[in-house]
Amino acid sequence: MSKDSKKPLSTWNLNPAPESTEHIKLKEQYELFINGEWQKPTAGLYFDTVNPASQEKLANIAHANDADVDKAVKAAREAYTNVWSKMSGKERGKYLFRIARLIQEKAREFAVIETLDGGKPIRESRDIDIPLAANHFFYYAGWADKLEFAFPNKKVESIGVAAQIIPWNFPLLMAAWKIAPALAAGNTVVLKPAETTSLTALKLAEIIEESGLPAGVVNIITGFGDTGSALVNHPDVDKIAFTGSTNVGKMIQKSTAETDKRLTLELGGKSANIIFEDAAIDQAVEGIVNGIFFNQGHVCCAGSRLFVQEGVAAEVIQKLKDRIDTLVVGDPMDKNTDIGAINSQKQWESISKYLELGVNEGNEMYQGKCAIPEKGLYFPPTIFIDVAQSSRLVQEEIFGPVLTIQTFRTVDEVIQKANNTPYGLAAGVWTDKGSKIFNVTSKLRSGVVWANTYNKFDPTSPFGGYKESGFGREGGLHGLASYLK
């Protein structure tokens, strides 16, 4: 460096900072976790689970068929009748606390595996997914011996065997959302993770084994849609909890229509994120980014429809473009990556179709400037500007890093447009004026409304949808109530 203290320096970029994978333990092949044992699938079938960033195979995963599902449900029934429903809440709580602590102890391993298997940035799995999963177990562990205080004047009773089917976008976190309240309330569980992201659920099974939880209380079976269908249709299941697409949710609701199975569904969304002209603009822009680009936009409550009041639209869009240019798209294992890999080829193709649609419709499009790795499933952060409510981009769930921007003039107009969707999962409202927050949030028909923030989750807070985004709540006391008679 010269002594000339005024000389400007060249550009400054970050070196790769990949998280180490040395400390993780993965088996070559994973069996089904039924009745406290690792059982081979009856048909002897396995499928590959791959790293979406590198396309490398990580492990063989067992594909459960009807017979395996039957074994799992029987194990859960037996454990329910003979052990878990008779155990005191205090004892149940001890197991949950133990599982929570074991997740914390192995947090780093969980985070790395979640990122390898699912493609989400290590920053998110490390700072959000895994800590939140542990917190859900801690939170519900605390309720296990206090159920009569949670629901005063009510004789609470567990339901029985819960069949739980979870999606690929937050694999361990969704497993925690489902398992923790079910066990705290005294039910037993058969859980099926999504076929592209089975690994952390299977690692959770290892922890459950280590915790000494009685055999059959939690059974984890892997497979595709046929496995899930067999589980949903099994006659000895008392309660179904499903998180996933609206289409599958509708199929499940149809199939349970003539049964006495209880059902909660947490489905898709097309959530509105509303920026008023009196908002703190820079923080709102950050909220837009967190709302849509969190987890590559693979978030059911993603703030995928942005509404900006016309007085600040030009400013907000310019600032959003500037911020998008600084987002790092790339290796999910790199600690500096903001947007990781798209979870599967199928999903990548689906997002690409919407991109094509948006371009063909003649919308103004802007994409982040970050160079995209050549290999692997990546998608740049993308915004479509001045899109109409009648566009399919605005109406359909894209489930990727694609944002539509609409402008609005008045409060009434934006409430009407925000609610003008078959979905109703979440919404965001950005304004510096408290009274406006109360007015708007009370009129939005969505299960969650965030004010001056977005995509915030906490075990104490219920989460769930209106309309085609599903019914029933997870998290908080509401989430506990879904697992009690």
Partner 1 sequence: MMNNKEIPDFRFTPTIDKVGVEERVARIQTKSIKGESKVQGMKMILNMIDLTTLEGKDTPGKVKQMCYKAQHLHSQYPDCPTVAAVCVYPSMVKIAKDALGNSNIKVASVSTAFPSGQAPMEVKLMDTRFAVEQGADEVDMVISRGKFLAGDYNFVYDEIAAIKDACGPARLKVILETGELVTLDNVRKASEIAMHAGADFIKTSTGKIQPAATMQVTYVMLMAIKDFHARTGKMIGMKPAGGISTSKLALHYLWMVKETLGDEWLSNEWFRFGASSLANDVLMQLMKSKEGVYQSSDYFSID
Positions touching partner 1 (CB under 8 A) are 1, 3-15, 17, 123, 127, 278-284, 286-287, 318, 326, 335-336, 432, 452-453
Task: Please give the biggest Cα pair distance in the chain.
Answer: 82
Taking the complex as a whole, the smallest distance from the CB of residue 435 to partner 1 amounts, in Å, to: 15
Look at the block and give the residue holding tokens 């969190």: 294
Calculate the dihedral angle through the C-alpha atoms of 331, 333, 334, 339, rounding to the nearest 10 degrees.
50
Catalytic residue among 114, 300, 468, 474: 300
Neighbours of 369 (CB within 10 A): 13
Is the Cβ–Cβ distance between 405 and 382 less than 8 Å?
A: no
Residue 20: CB minimum distance to partner 1, A: 12
> Of 19 and 468, which has the nearer Cβ to partner 1?
19
d(CA 32, CA 230): 15
DSSP 278: T
Catalytic: which of 266, 397, 468, 474?
Answer: 266
Cα→Cα distances 99→102, 191, 198, 207, Å:
5, 16, 18, 7
Of the pair 19, 195, the CB lying nearest partner 1 is at 19
Are the CB atoms for 397 and 268 separated by under 8 Å? Answer: yes
- Identify the H or E element spanning 192: strand 188-192
Q: Distance (Å, rounded) from C-alpha 196 to C-alpha 266?
A: 19
Assign 60 to helix, strand or coil.
strand
Q: How far is the CB of 283 from partner 1 (least distance, A)?
A: 3
Q: Is 300 a catalytic residue?
A: yes
- Answer yes or no: 157 catalytic: no
Between 17 and 67, whose beta carbon lies closer to partner 1? Answer: 17
Closest to partner 1 by CB, 366 or 399: 366
Give min distance, CB of 429 to partner 1, in A.
13
Q: Which residues pair with 482 in a beta bridge?
A: none
- Asked if residue 289 lies in contact with residue 445, where contact means CB atoms within 8 angstroms, the answer is no
Asked if 179 and 478 touch (Cβ cutoff 8 Å), the reply is: no
| Cβ proximity to partner 1, 123 vs 298, nearer residue | 123
- In the complex, least distance from residue 127 CB atom to partner 1, rounded to whole angstroms: 7
* Choice between 99 and 284, CB closer to partner 1: 284
The distance from CA 51 to its chain's CA centroid, rounded to whole angstroms, is 18
CB of 18 to partner 1, least distance (A): 9
First to last CA, the chain: 73
Q: What are the catalytic residues? A: 266, 300
